[in-house]
Structure formats: C-alpha cells, structure tokens
C-alpha cells in the first residue's frame, strides 16, 4: 500500500494561482460509485481555504470540471454519514452524488463542526453544509444568469449544469465560476429545496465505502503506513495507576530491532517489524508498584449506592411527588442497575503519529480530531497550528474507545524515537484500557391512582459527575508520562431520559452526581440513556402489571405527543400485538415460556421517537433467553437515506441486545479482568432475532441522527418480554441465564 | 492439537458449519465450553523448540539484543498467495501468517482483531479451508495456497459473495467483514444452499460489533442464490 497522507487518494496539486477554490483535478463522472476519491490538498492555510463555519468555501470547493468536494469536520464511523451528507449536498446543488467528493475530519482542511457523537453527524454536520450548498446554488444561478445574459428565472440547474429553460447553452459549475472564488458567507435564508421536490434525499443510495470494505481494499487507519515507520506497542501496568519501578532492557535480547521506550511511568516498545514489537511487548520485564485502588466488580451496585455525592440535581419536576407518594394506596418501588461496559471494538485501537521537534501529524480514528488537536498540542507542547490530525476509519467505536489513547501512545513513542510510529493495541489493551461506560444505579418509586393510572413518580439516579471545564477525557499515555493534563470525569449526557415520557401529575427525577466512578469513563453509545430507559420502561411495565392493564394501552393512555402515539401503535401493529395484561397466562409445562414486551422513548425528550416490541422464549430450566423477533417503529424527522438509516437502527437494536444479555466489565482491586471475547462475550449469530423496522418519514421536519435513539428501548422491551413470559422481573443487566434462573427460582 | 506445525488431519477438523457457539447458549443445545484458539477452523500450533528468540538466548549470540532486522537470521518460506507464488523472509518462521500477509505482502484485507482465534477478523483460506491467520504460523503455511479476501474479487469485479454483501449493504464499520466474507465463502464451498440456521451456525465464531448481523445473514443467503 502506498503511503499518502490521504491513503488511496489522488496526489495532485489542485490550486491555481491566487488561492482560488477552483481546482484542477477531475473526479470523472464515469468513475465507479465507490471511487469517491478526495484530493490531497495540503494545509488549508497554504491554499487560502477558509475553515470558518460561516464561509461557504469552508465546506465546498468547486472544481474546474464542475464537480464538488465537500469538507466536513464530522466523520463517518460506519454510520453512513459519507453518503448522507453527499445526498444533502446533491439535492441542493442538483449535482449527481458521484460527482461529490468528501474530506472528513482533517483538522487542516475541514471546519470544526464538533465531535462526531451524540447522533450529531446529520444535525450539526449535514444541516449546515446543506445551507452552504443552498447558498452556493443561489450564487451559481446569479453568475450563470450574468453569463447567459438572461434573468435568473429563465435558468434551471440540473445534473450539475445551469441550463436555459428554453434550451440552448449549458454551463457546469466550473465553467460558471471561470476560475473565480466562491467567497460567500453562508446565507441562513438561502432557500432550501422543498421536501416534496426531493429527488436525492430520501433515496436508499448505496454507501460509497462498501465495495472497498467488502473486497478488502478499504484503507483503515490500521492499514496506513508512512515511509520509515516503526511499529510500537504500549505496555500498560498490571494495576491501574501503578508506577514503573524498574525495567530490564536485556529481556529484549533476541528480538531484532526492538527497543524499549520509557517516559516516567509510560512504557512502550518499538521495532521495525510488527511481530517483533509484539514479542518485545510480551518479553519486556518490568516491575511495577502494587495497585489496589479499584472497588472490584463484585458488589458494585452497593459500592455505587454508597459512593460520595458531589451534588444533587433535579433534572425534571412537576407537582409535588414527595407529598403525593406517601398518600397513595398502591405504591411500587424498584432498583435497576447497569454494569460497567466496554465499547469492545472489533479492531483494537490504532494510530500513526509522526512527531518532530516543531510539528506533529497524527492519523487517527478519533471521533473528535479538532478537539484532540488542541489536546495533542498541549501534550506535545506545540502550537496548535503545528499539529494536524487526519481522520482515517477505525473499527466501529460507539463512543470514545481507545482510539485517542492509541494516538497519544503513538505520539509519545514517535517523539521519543524520532520516527513515525504506528501503534495498534492488542486485544487485552482494548478490553482492559478503553475508557468505559460507567455503572448506573437507578431507584424508582411510583403510585397508581384508583383508575390504575400513574399518579406520582420519583426517579433517583447515581451517576458520575462531569468535571466542569475539562477539555477532553484524560489520556493514558500523558498521564503515565507525567505530562500535565486536566484530570476528571466525563461520560456524556448521562442524566437524560430518567424521567418518564408519560403524563404524571407529580413527578420528579433527581441525579446524585458522584465524585468518583471505578475505571476511567467516557461516552458510550446513547450515554446513560440506555440504562435510564431500562429503568423507566421496566418500571412502567411493573406499574401496568400492578394495574392489570395491557402495557401498550397503559402507555398510550398516558401519552399526548402524537408522534409518540404513532410510533407505539406502529410498532404494535408491525409486531402483531394482542392486548392483555402481563404476564402471559398461557404457559405450557416443560416448554420454553413465550412472552412479549415493549418499550418507548422520546430520545432526550426532544429528538427521535422510537417504540420497540419484542418476543422472547425463556428456557424454564436453564434460564436462557432467546429473542425471537423485534419490531421497531422509528421517527427521526426527515429521512435522508432510508437504507443507511435502517442499518443504523438494526445496529442499535442488536448491539444493545448484546449489551443487555451479555456484557459486563469485570475487575478486581487492581485491573480489568474481562480482557478478551471469552470473558467479555458479545452477541453471536445463532442468537440473532428477526428484525422488522418501520420508518416514519417526516419530510417537513428537521432530520435527527439515528445512531443512538433506537438503543434505548431495547433493554426495557427485553426485560418486559421476560416478565411476560415468566412472571420474573429482571432489573439488573446483563440479563444472563444465571440471573434469569435465579429470578425464576425466587419468584 | 499436534505440535508439528502442520495442518491437522481433515478428520479432526470440525466443520465450521456445525460449530457450536463457544461459551454461548444455543437453543436446544445447552451451553458450550469457552473457545479454544482456532476452534472450528484449520488449527495450527507453534513449534517453540525452534523459536529464534529462545535459541539465541541459549547460544553465544545472547548479546544479540539491538541487532537490527536486516542483520537477523532470516528463514525463507515459500507459499502461494492469491494464486501467485511468493517467497517471504522472516526472522521468526513461526510469526503468525497475518503479519506476513499484512506487512510483507501488502494484503490488508485480513484484520487483526484479537490474536486469540476468537473473533475471525483475520480469516483467510488455507488450501481452501477457513483458517485464522492470527494463529497460523508462517511455517505452517509453507507450500500451501493461501487465499485472502483480495484474492476473491475487486471493487470493480467482486466475487459473488462480495457482490451479495455490497447488494445487501451488509457492513457498518466493516472491520469484521473480511471474516464474514471468508466464512461465507468457506460455507458455500461446502454447502451451496444453506438454511438460515446453517448460515447462523457457520458464522457463529465470527464476531460483529456494529450489529450488522441481519444484513450479513441476508447477504449469505443472497450469495447462495436464495
């Protein structure tokens, strides 16, 4: 594989004199759809390309042949953003998607649109670019009108060309610009296409990266190399926070070219040959101080409940539940618990860094290249404009996995040896040291009125407090190397959706923000909201059962939001829901118990509406749960690409089934002990249910992302289905066979 | 597992088709033990007696530390990769085939996932049989025909299995897809018309984290002409 800053891409100089944004290379219309090459552009500052969020040229470059390159600070993490943003631009410019190239997440070339997280790729990535494209379209029409010498209304734009309505001449965008620069501010009022006229948005166009991914040609950061590059491996201590006491470099004898790098307590090896680096990392003898700072995963629930509280926050309140609850006759209380979980990426994190005394270039799968550019400038003590982070695809991360840490490992090793260094973590590094989803404890109390409706409700959540003003999750390598960085906790917006989406007169949700949490946390898919919804939807089901009411009818009667009502009804219809209270009265002795459950979310109370119904079979003896089928109704507003959207929703459902059924990071007093796929199992193919999805397209509404919302109803629907099947209520994840068996025996 | 670094007899190679899911529950079959490296795949093992690091440490070359790769004693191994005869030199003849394919021969399709034979991201075919390149010593591949995902087809001319994955849009991040495509190729070579349950069984030891399973299964059945 050739080594280019943008791998697999055409190395061509693109600029003509004067810093114009007219570029000289062609993205041929005849190319296959997968060859969405982007140019090697060099630094934005060198070529006069703006990066400001209010400049059209920050987002769009028009080439001589009329094709366009889009620049976005958001990245495609396997989510389909790569096609979705193209579709949004293609729609506004009337330019075929195959004539649009995309540059993602390169800090030197793309505007800082914030990290790619929180399902923000479409809303905060695509939507502003769409507005820039609409601005460009209006400008191109005016320029074309001048060129033709006719009023704008006698022109149309089609297929990337301005044409006379009456027929006659036509000019592509490059010909219209004639070498001039599109120096325009993004016009927030530039007219957007009307949804009924959409021709590209809403189409299930294939993703451009899949032909290369399915034939082994796609260049991941793992596959990238630069000349003279060494292979590096970090060596993490046997206990979290342990200090490096001594090092026996003679233990590397016999491994060609291997050398150890020690910076205070940061330890790594480098070698010319990757296998030599791996063997060296295993062979290197080092002695470390003891570490016993972790509470251990046994009994973690009690540890969390007893953890020191930093402050309390009431995140939702209506009426006076504290007064109403004691008055009620029918009251229920329950405690739900979600364990520590890993992002557990299929590919251990990887990065390539080339750090010199006065500059650094880092190729990384980071979700947040712009944010970590600042972090790396601080870590390496370099000016920000001398640090460049270039995004390359990694294995799916679902939040901040080890990718930024691997980049820091590579950067410190590269600086130490004066050569570019590629670091790929080993499996035990990823499972052991990726920042984790924190444990979540949720206690609920509610009452029913005489009619069997929810009268009052209180939620209490025990969650780690985010450290105010912390610029990024602290990284392992600089911490070990004694390089100053701001320490603290951040795990995303984990306090949301802990309050019920239903009509409750007296309701309150309180977060007890904790000072500490075991293991370093970070954002993991739908941060906090999977566990919070698990508790809210499981407890709602408990209340429905207490009231002897059908779980669907119980929810619908307490819901006024029409979009919420629609998704619940649609999911029930897709599933074939029969109204009756849980548990299922039909249970045949000796046979698997069959049950169905549902759950609903209005994500963050202001984004997507999702309802999921599922059917399970529970083996009465062993307690094993098999999910047979899942039906999901999903409303995220305007749908950009229905097939890529379904792919995301399917991923949300199956990954969360995995997290709910199997996943728990175990640790002792020193370190994580679930460090491979045997000790941290995930969902396998024989467990895969049938999945049906109904998309509710709302072209008149803004689009929201879909990488998270559909995860949140999954554990609730599953636990509710198990209750329906067996009468046993599961409130602790993972819902393992052992837990189900215990619940069945205890029932 | 024999320690001669050779492929085991075909008789004791379990068909990946019928492989139970290691450590997981299969409805009606009960739980299974945790995976052995390479289970369900062609199995290989290292011959530690000829480990160059161990040998050098026991010899007068104990001061070898710091020698660069160019000065290391190289072993030449001949094998066929994607139809071409290749000669590779390695300082450690038992280095896993995966690193040789990726770093010396430039085939980046097989991915490093675990190095433990647990996930299947590194899958290749060795003499037509599914193998995990992270657990195949280079020496065991000597004289054998190795096929990587690059050897099946190209983006322009994909193999029918690859075309089916593309048609079903059966990838998200795509890191596991090498294993999925290679396991599907091996399945269809031995069972051209698998049922859905057989497809699930054949992919049981190949992990996907993004949750693309439903599409991958559709792709398997599409490739089978179902």
pLDDT of A167: 86
Residue B217 has its nearest CB partner, among A32, A683, A688, at: A688
> Are A364 and A475 a contacting pair, CB within 8 Å?
no
Interchain pair A219, B108: CB under 8 A: yes
The residue written with tokens 């390539």 in the block is: A352
CA dist B187 and A372 (Å) reads: 44
CA dist A125 and A104 (Å) reads: 10
**Taking Cα atoms as reference points, which of B90, B179, B178, B104 lies closest to residue B137?**
B90
CA dist A596 and A717 (Å) reads: 8
Residues of B in contact with A283 (CB under 8 A): 53
**Residue A7 pLDDT greater than 50, yes or no:** no
**Residue A33 pLDDT greater than 90, yes or no:** no
pLDDT of A747: 53
Interchain pair B171, A217: CB under 8 A: no
**Taking Cα atoms as reference points, which of A684, A677, A682 lies closest to residue A428?**
A677
The residue written with tokens 């943008």 in the block is: A6
Residue A480 is inside which H or E element, if any? helix A476-480
CA dist B200 and B183 (Å) reads: 11
> Are A78 and A398 a contacting pair, CB within 8 Å?
no
pLDDT of B24: 30
In the structure encoding, which two tokens stand for residue A576, read together? 């074939």
Interchain pair B215, A647: CB under 8 A: yes
Helix (H, G, I), strand (E, B), or coil: what is residue B2?
coil
pLDDT of B58: 62
Interchain pair B91, A210: CB under 8 A: no
CA dist A324 and A344 (Å) reads: 44
Put residue A440 in one of left, alpha, beta given phi > 0 → left and psi -120 to 50 → alpha. Answer: beta
Instruction: Give the whole-number percent of chain A exceeding pLDDT 90.
Output: 89
Interchain pair A254, B206: CB under 8 A: no
> Are A456 and A446 a contacting pair, CB within 8 Å?
yes
Residue B176 has its nearest CB partner, among A346, A398, A653, at: A346
> Are A510 and A548 a contacting pair, CB within 8 Å?
no
Residue A275 has its nearest CB partner, among B23, B92, B149, at: B92
**Residue A720 pLDDT greater than 60, yes or no:** yes
Question: What's the rounded mean pLDDT across residues B117-141?
Answer: 96
Put residue B149 in one of left, alpha, beta given phi > 0 → left and psi -120 to 50 → alpha. Answer: alpha
Chain A nearest-CA distance from B12, in A, is: 23
**Taking Cα atoms as reference points, which of A686, A687, A682, A631 lies closest to residue A658?**
A682
- Residue with the bigger pLDDT between B20 and B67: it is B67
pLDDT of A353: 98
CA dist B135 and B8 (Å) reads: 14
Residues of A in contact with B113 (CB under 8 A): 346-348, 427
The contacts of residue A41 (CB under 8 Å, 6+ apart) are A14, A47, A49, A103, A108, A109
The residue written with tokens 């004639």 in the block is: A178
CA dist A245 and A639 (Å) reads: 57
Whether A11-207 shares its CATH topology with A222-290+343-433 is answered yes
Question: What's the rounded mean pLDDT across residues A405-409?
Answer: 98
Q: Where are the alpha helices (DSSP H) in A94-229?
A: 127-148, 173-177, 210-214
**Taking Cα atoms as reference points, which of A156, A185, A80 lies closest to residue A125?**
A80
> Are A710 and A704 a contacting pair, CB within 8 Å?
no
CA dist B181 and B150 (Å) reads: 11
Interface test with B, best of A252, A398, A684, A708 (most B CBs within 10 A): A684
The residue written with tokens 């995963």 in the block is: A297
Residue B27 has its nearest CB partner, among A214, A250, A626, at: A626
pLDDT of A29: 29
Chain B nearest-CA distance from A397, in A, is: 9
Please spell the DSSP secondary structure of B51-67, one letter per residue.
-HHHHHHHSGGGGGTT-
Compute the mean pLDDT over every residue in chain B, rounded to the nearest whole number.
Answer: 81
pLDDT tens per residue across span A176-221: 999 887 889 999 999 999 999 999 999 999 999 999 999 999 999 9
**Domain spanning A440-746, CATH class:** alpha beta
Question: What's the rounded mean pLDDT across residues A566-570?
Answer: 98
CA dist A148 and B28 (Å) reads: 74
Question: What's the rounded mean pLDDT across residues A225-241?
Answer: 97
Is the link from the previous residue into A583 a cis peptide, with omega within 30 of 0? Answer: yes
The residue written with tokens 């289905």 in the block is: A721
Chain center to CA of B100: 13
Interchain pair A253, B96: CB under 8 A: no
Residues of A in contact with B91 (CB under 8 A): 256, 273, 276
- Strand spans (E) along B122-177: 123-126, 129-132, 145-147
Residue A214 has its nearest CB partner, among B24, B107, B158, at: B158
Chain B nearest-CA distance from A738, in A, is: 12
The residue written with tokens 């041929």 in the block is: A28
CA dist B17 and B11 (Å) reads: 15
Interface test with A, best of B46, B209, B215 (most A CBs within 10 A): B209
> Are B79 and A286 a contacting pair, CB within 8 Å?
no
- Count of CB pairs separated by less than 8 Å, A with B: 262
CA dist A489 and A522 (Å) reads: 8
Interface test with A, best of B25, B177, B205 (most A CBs within 10 A): B25
The CATH number that domain A11-207 falls under is 3.30.365.10
Residues of A in contact with B52 (CB under 8 A): 254
Interchain pair B154, A217: CB under 8 A: yes
CATH 3.30.365.10 fits A222-290+343-433, yes or no: yes
Q: How confident is the model at residue B59 (pLDDT cuts 50, 70, 90)?
A: low
Residue-range domain boundaries for chain A? 11-207, 222-290+343-433, 440-746
Is the link from the previous residue into A86 a cis peptide, with omega within 30 of 0? Answer: no
Residue B52 has its nearest CB partner, among A220, A254, A274, at: A254
> Are A201 and A640 a contacting pair, CB within 8 Å?
yes
CA dist B177 and B151 (Å) reads: 15
> Are A481 and A412 a contacting pair, CB within 8 Å?
yes
Starting at the edge strand found earlier in the chain, the sheet holding A155-158 runs: A155-158, A161-164, A170-172
Interchain pair B169, A644: CB under 8 A: yes
pTM above 0.95, yes or no: no
The contacts of residue A154 (CB under 8 Å, 6+ apart) are A145, A148, A164, A165, A166
**Residue A16 pLDDT greater than 90, yes or no:** no
């Amino acid at each position: 594989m050739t080594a280019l800053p943008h791998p697999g891409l055409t190395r061509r100089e693109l600029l003509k004199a004067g810093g114009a944004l007219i570029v000289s290379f062609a993205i041929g219309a005849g190319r296959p759809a997968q060859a969405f090459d982007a140019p090697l552009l060099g630094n934005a500052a060198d070529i006069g390309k703006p990066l400001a969020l209010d400049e059209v040229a920050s987002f769009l470059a028009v080439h001589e042949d009329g094709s366009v390159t889009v620049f976005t600070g958001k990245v495609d993490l396997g989510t389909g953003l790569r096609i979705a943003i193209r579709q949004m631009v293609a729609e506004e410019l009337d330019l075929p998607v195959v004539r649009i190239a995309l540059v993602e997440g390169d800090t030197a070339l793309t505007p800082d649109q914030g990290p790619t997280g929180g399902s923000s790729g479409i809303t905060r990535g695509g939507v502003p670019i769409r507005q820039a494209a609409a601005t460009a379209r209006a400008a191109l029409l005016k320029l074309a009108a001048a060129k033709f010498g006719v009023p704008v209304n006698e022109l149309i734009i089609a297929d990337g060309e301005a044409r006379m309505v009456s027929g006659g001449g036509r000019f592509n965008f490059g010909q219209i610009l004639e070498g001039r620069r599109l120096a325009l501010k993004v016009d927030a009022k530039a007219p957007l296409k009307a949804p009924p006229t959409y021709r590209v948005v809403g189409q299930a166009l294939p993703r451009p990266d899949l032909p290369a991914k399915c034939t082994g040609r796609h260049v991941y950061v793992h596959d990238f190399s630069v000349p003279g590059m060494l292979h590096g491996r970090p060596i993490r201590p046997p206990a979290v926070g342990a200090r490096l006491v001594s090092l026996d470099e003679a233990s590397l004898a016999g491994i060609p070219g291997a050398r150890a790098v020690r910076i205070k307590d940061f330890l790594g090896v480098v070698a010319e040959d990757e296998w030599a680096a791996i063997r060296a990392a295993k062979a290197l003898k080092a002695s470390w101080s003891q570490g016993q700072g972790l509470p251990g995963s046994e009994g973690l629930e009690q540890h969390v409940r007893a953890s020191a509280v930093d402050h309390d926050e009431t995140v939702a309140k209506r009426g006076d539940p504290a007064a109403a609850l004691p008055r009620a006759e029918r009251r229920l209380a329950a405690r739900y618990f979600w364990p520590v979980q890993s992002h557990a990426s299929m590919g251990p994190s990887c990065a390539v860094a080339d750090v010199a005394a006065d500059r650094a270039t880092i190729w990384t799968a980071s979700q947040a290249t712009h944010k970590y550019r600042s972090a790396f400038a601080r870590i390496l003590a370099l000016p920000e404009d001398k640090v460049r982070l270039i995004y390359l695809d990694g294995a799916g991360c679902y939040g901040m996995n080890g990718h930024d840490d691997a980049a820091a490992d590579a950067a410190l090793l590269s600086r130490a040896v004066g050569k570019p260094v590629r670091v790929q973590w080993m499996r035990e590094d990823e499972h052991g040291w990726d920042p984790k989803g924190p444990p979540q404890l949720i206690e609920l109390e509610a009452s029913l009125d005489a009619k069997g409706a929810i009268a009052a409700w209180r939620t209490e959540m025990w969650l780690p407090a985010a450290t105010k003003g912390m610029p990024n999750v602290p990284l392992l390598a600089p911490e070990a190397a004694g390089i100053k960085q701001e320490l603290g906790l951040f795990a995303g917006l984990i306090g949301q959706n802990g309050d019920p989406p239903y009509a409750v007169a007296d309701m309150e949700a309180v977060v007890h923000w904790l000072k500490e949490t075991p293991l370093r946390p970070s954002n993991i898919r739908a941060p906090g909201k999977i566990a919070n919804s698990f508790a809210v939807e499981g407890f709602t089901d408990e209340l429905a059962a207490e009231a002897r009411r059908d779980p669907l009818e119980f929810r619908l009667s307490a819901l006024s939001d029409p979009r919420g009502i629609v998704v619940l009804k649609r999911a029930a219809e897709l599933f074939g829901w029969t109204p009756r209270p849980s548990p299922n009265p039909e249970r045949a002795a000796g046979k698997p118990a069959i049950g169905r459950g549902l759950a609903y979310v209005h994500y963050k109370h202001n984004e997507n509406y999702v309802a999921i119904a599922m059917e399970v079979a529970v083996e009465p003896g062993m307690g094993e749960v098999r999910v047979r089928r899942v039906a999901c109704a999903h409303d995220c507003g305007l749908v950009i690409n229905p097939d890529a959207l379904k792919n995301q929703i399917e991923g949300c459902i199956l990954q969360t089934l995995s997290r709910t059924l199997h996943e728990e990071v175990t640790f002792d007093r020193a370190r994580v002990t679930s460090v491979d796929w045997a000790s941290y199992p995930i969902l396998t193919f024989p467990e895969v249910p049938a999945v049906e999805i109904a998309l509710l397209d709302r072209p008149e509404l803004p689009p929201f992302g879909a990488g998270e919302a559909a995860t949140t109803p999954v554990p609730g629907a599953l636990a509710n289905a198990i209750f329906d099947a067996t009468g046993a209520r599961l409130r602790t994840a993972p819902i393992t066979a052992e837990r189900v068996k215990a619940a069945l025996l205890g029932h | 597992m024999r320690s001669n670094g050779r492929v085991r007899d075909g008789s004791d190679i379990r068909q990946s088709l019928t492989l139970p899911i290691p450590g997981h529950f299969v409805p009606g079959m009960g739980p299974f033990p945790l995976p052995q490296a390479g289970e369900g795949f062609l199995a290989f093992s290292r011959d530690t007696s000829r480990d160059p690091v161990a040998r050098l440490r026991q010899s007068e070359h104990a001061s070898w530390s710091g020698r660069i790769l160019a000065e290391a004693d190289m072993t030449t191994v001949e094998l066929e990769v994607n139809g071409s005869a290749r000669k590779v030199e390695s300082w450690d003849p038992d280095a896993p085939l995966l690193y040789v394919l990726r770093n010396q021969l430039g085939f980046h399709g097989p991915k490093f996932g675990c190095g433990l034979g647990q996930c299947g991201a590194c899958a290749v075919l060795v003499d037509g049989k599914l193998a995990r390149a992270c657990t195949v010593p280079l020496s065991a591949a000597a004289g054998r025909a190795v096929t990587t995902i690059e050897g099946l087809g190209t983006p322009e001319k994909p193999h029918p299995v690859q075309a089916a994955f593309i048609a079903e849009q059966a990838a998200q991040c795509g890191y596991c897809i090498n294993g999925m495509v290679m396991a599907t190729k091996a399945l269809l070579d031995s069972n051209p018309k698998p049922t859905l349950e057989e497809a699930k069984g054949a992919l049981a030891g190949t992990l996907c984290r993004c949750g693309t399973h439903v599409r991958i299964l559709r792709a398997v059945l599409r490739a089978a002409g179902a």
